[in-house]
Structure 1
Amino acid sequence: MEEKKLDINSVIGFVLIFGILMYMLWQNQPTPEQLKAQEKAKQEQVAKESKATKQDQTKVVTPEDLSATGLTDSLKLANLKNKWGAFAYAASKASPNQTVVESDLLKLTFNNKGGYLSEVKLKKHTDFNDNPIYLIKDNNASFNINFGTTDSRILNTKDLYFEPTVTKNGDLTVVSMKLKVSETKFLEYRYELKQGDYMMGFTVRSQGLSDVLNSSQPINLDWDLKTYRHAQSISYENRYTEVVFEYEGGKDDYLGQRAESEDTGNEVTYVAFKQHFFTSILLADTPFKTGTFKSKNLVQNEDVDTLFTKAFSAKFPLELAGGEINKSMDWYYGPSDFKILNKYDRNLDEVVPLGWGIFGWINKYMFIPLFAFLGSFLPYGIAIIVMTILIKLLMSFVQYKQFLSQAKMKILKPELDAIREKHKDNKMKAQQETLALQTKAGASPMAGCIPALVQLPVFYALFQFFPSAFDLRQKSFLWVKDLSSYDTIAELPFKIPFYGDHVSLFPILASVAIFFYMRLTTGDQMASQPTADGMPDMAKMMKYMMYFSPIMMLFFFNNYASGLSLYYFISNLISIGIILVIKNYILDEDKIHAQIQENKKKPKKENRFQKKMAEMMEQAELQKQAQQKKKK
């Protein structure tokens, strides 16, 4: 084996490399001036770190700030305690992330900071521009519990960090948001979401916080919401956007449409922030002791496109039981649909404005079931027409009575005129003889008024029904895209006061039909009025109404739901047809005249009302005569 010898070239190479390294070290050594500058910078850094440490002991530090520093966990916790006290543990484990869960109807996003819903999307519905319906989005809502602690702090849950946990069991999804003092001591928001349900269980409870919560300080639950615009007409949607609440075991009230309004209630079981066709409701299993509600109109100018319509707020006190919070509630985020709300059997149908008293009953037990039945197999526009025909046929008997009374008064008109002429200087005597003649003939103006009054509840109930019918929303018919909104056949380059910047066809058709209907009815009414002293005030008013009513219809309904205008158009067309049939084929004036003459021959027994009226007129006449004698 050949013995290795040291290569002279290698030796020279190592010497050269060593020499170069030594030269570089010598060349790069700091000068005395550089050494002084480094020493000064080192002293400044030490002083700065010392100052920062002192500031950290008094400065309010957020979890986000701490996560960006290199401080130890113990120092982080010490700093957080300066602000959050017992809840520093929760802040130290804070996560700014969001928690998202979904059902077939809802997509819910929970904000870990505050533990509340930061986004609610209704998956089955869109707005007038085909955008998804969001009831909560982009910080338009806030949910907060304000409470005091035993270490003299006032905290808000919306500023604190909750730890989320999501569990699923079949169709049930449970979201638990815990605000922790420790692993065994916490405040929890528990949400229970079911498939196929807009109602979500919600519980606020605490565990082990009896030594943290200050029982002498009020604990308030605050809920705020700015309502998004979802409909084509801002004014129309805003008219039906309001706060509704139930109190004292079933009573309900609302805040109305003022620019700003406020109200309170005792034993409150729910509050609804209603947005015409959609609503957000907070319900309590056991009533809140009191509730304070506020509403503010955010639409300053309806000509300007707007994002929000109203701002709502509700405040409730929470009570401690054994030093702990335990309140079972529910959230409802969904349509303002009578059928859906009514199935919960919690009086939520009052959120839908169907009218008070008899008007609401007619809608609940007659029109809603009838329309649901027709809509189950007919297009909704056709269902409105069929429903209108059925209602008009049902009321045709009332109309017959009304026109029969008008026909009798028209036949008696010559005799009534003669009475007025005979006693033109004694109006009281003229009224007495007029009443006596009408009684004998079996004709009375009241007989024509009563049928009109009978129709009034039906008329008003339908006026409430169509704007509240969720089934009409985004349903088309002929040229109408949405029966729950106005139809448009032309856009105007300017806005007409009280009318708008568009032309709707159904209000025009309804106005024309109303004009001809009133021309038929007021013509007979005016013909039956006595004319001895010229046209009386009543007849003049009828003539003015014949022109004023169609104009009012044209302006008032231009921005209303086209389904309502369709109803009035069809209703008045049918009324015109019924009038023509009654006048031309059913009523025979000769027979009516002969019947009146027979009635006049028979002794007519006055009813109690007629006797009372005759006595009052007679007493008034005697008093008048006595006063005239005194003057003489």
Structure 2
Amino acid sequence: MDKNTLVGFALIGAVVIGFSIYNRPSQEEMAHAKHYQDSIQAIAQKEAERQAQAAMTQSQNATLHLDSASMFYGASQGTEQLTTLENNVVKLTFINKGGRVCAATLKDYNGQDGKPLTLFDSKDSGLNFAFEGKNENILTEDMYFQPTNVTDSTVTMRLAANNGGYIDFDYKLLPDAYMVNFTIRANGMQNFFPPALNTVNINWHQRARQLEKGFSFEQRYTSLTYKPVGKSSDYLSEMKEEKEEVGERLDWIAFKNQFFSSVLVADQDFNNASLSSIPQQEGSGYMKNYTANMTTFFDP
């Protein structure tokens, strides 16, 4: 590169710099432009908020309309009530919202506080059944059941429909055992369900409590465990977050602590299971956050 070329590049650079300085807007022009841009952004933000509010109102109105027309509109409103079943080894608490077991206390074992060990309670766990109807679906976690047939060892949680039909959740606590027989029965609901329906969707979740003093050691023995039909049991990772889609039919799914487990055992298998285990932080009071989504047989 010769001297003339270098001079040429230098002149071009000077011209570009000079042109930029000459055409640079004044402080007044820059302030006006910023004010204009801010105004445009403010208008856009207000419009976005207006549209979001309108969409929310529309959604709320639609929900209200659907609820008032629902066959289970009456069951969507109520107050929470608790029912207790117990035998010599376990005390179970049922809640009418969702018609489910919401707490389990083991009488023969004590926690670190010296009191009978509570395996889980309502803030730790959830069990939701999703029934598909012809015109609407039922999510039991949103519905208020009516406790009937209550004894020391039995309770029927009844989900009443406006047409006089109902769905019963029958629970029976077996004597001197930790096992609860659970049956779902539908009565007078023939016109609600599609003729070909033969399954129910289940969503079960629970945070496994820290029950021992040593967090790291207990973490290694706390896992979501499941058993495929005709095979040995398997489990998700104890030390890292893991999700798994299980295509095989399952006999049971267990939310396992180091020494204790909450187990759902299927009468006619679980299918299409989607399982998740997420380790919790030390100091949170919990070891894992478990979730299981699956289907099982149901004949309306």
TM-score normalised according to structure 1 size: 0.36
C-alpha separation in 1, matches of 2:231 and 2:187: 32
Q: Which amino acid aligns with 1:247?
A: P
**Partner SS, residue 129 of structure 1:** coil
Deviations 1:192-249 (A, max 9, x none): 0123111111112222223213467874111101011110101111110001111122
**Partner SS, residue 212 of structure 2:** coil
- 1:129 to partner: Cα distance: 3.3
C-alpha separation in 1, matches of 2:93 and 2:296: 25
CA contact (8 A) 1:269 1:284 kept: yes
Which residue is 2:131 aligned to? 147
C-alpha separation in 2, matches of 1:107 and 1:143: 18
Which residue is 2:161 aligned to? 181
Gaps of 5+ in 2: 1-59
Q: Which amino acid aligns with 2:106?
A: L
Q: Which amino acid aligns with 1:205?
A: R
Which residue is 2:176 aligned to? 196
Residues 178-577 of structure 1 aligned to structure 2 (within 5 Å):
178-182=158-162, 185-214=165-194, 219-263=200-244, 264-299=246-281, 302=282, 305-321=283-299, 324=300
- 1:149 to partner: Cα distance: 2.4
Over the aligned positions, Cα root-mean-square deviation in angstroms equals 2.6
Distance 1:160 1:270, change over 3 A: same
C-alpha separation in 1, matches of 2:81 and 2:252: 31
- 1:157 to partner: Cα distance: 0.5
Q: Which has the larger radius of gyration?
A: 1
- 1:184 to partner: Cα distance: 5.0
**Partner SS, residue 90 of structure 1:** helix
- 1:260 to partner: Cα distance: 1.2
Which residue is 2:71 aligned to? 86
Q: Which amino acid aligns with 1:236?
A: F
**Partner SS, residue 249 of structure 2:** strand
CA contact (8 A) 2:268 2:297 kept: no
- Identity rate of aligned residues, in percent? 26
Match of 1:160 among 143, 146, 150: 143
C-alpha separation in 2, matches of 1:84 and 1:196: 45
- 1:259 to partner: Cα distance: 2.0
C-alpha separation in 2, matches of 1:183 and 1:121: 38
* 1:97 partnered with 2:78: no
C-alpha separation in 1, matches of 2:181 and 2:200: 21
**Partner SS, residue 73 of structure 2:** helix
- 1:100 to partner: Cα distance: 1.9
CA contact (8 A) 1:215 1:320 kept: no
- 1:187 to partner: Cα distance: 1.4
Distance 1:250 1:108, change over 3 A: same
Number of equivalenced pairs: 240
**Partner SS, residue 236 of structure 1:** helix
Distance 1:95 1:259, change over 3 A: same
CA contact (8 A) 1:166 1:174 kept: yes
**Partner SS, residue 87 of structure 1:** coil
CA contact (8 A) 2:255 2:261 kept: yes
Return the structure number with greater strand share.
2
Deviations 1:583-612 (A, max 9, x none): xxxxxxxxxxxxxxxxxxxxxxxxxxxxxx
Distance 1:215 1:296, change over 3 A: farther
Distance 1:219 1:174, change over 3 A: same
Q: Which amino acid aligns with 2:97?
A: K
Which residue is 2:104 aligned to? 120
CA contact (8 A) 1:296 1:310 kept: yes
C-alpha separation in 2, matches of 1:266 and 1:205: 26
CA contact (8 A) 1:166 1:173 kept: no
C-alpha separation in 2, matches of 1:60 and 1:132: 43
- 1:273 to partner: Cα distance: 0.7
Deviations 1:267-293 (A, max 9, x none): 211011110111111001221233221
CA contact (8 A) 1:249 1:267 kept: no
C-alpha separation in 1, matches of 2:233 and 2:195: 31
Greater relative contact order structure (CA < 8 Å, 6+ sep): 2
C-alpha separation in 2, matches of 1:147 and 1:104: 35
CA contact (8 A) 1:114 1:161 kept: yes
Q: Which amino acid aligns with 1:307?
A: G
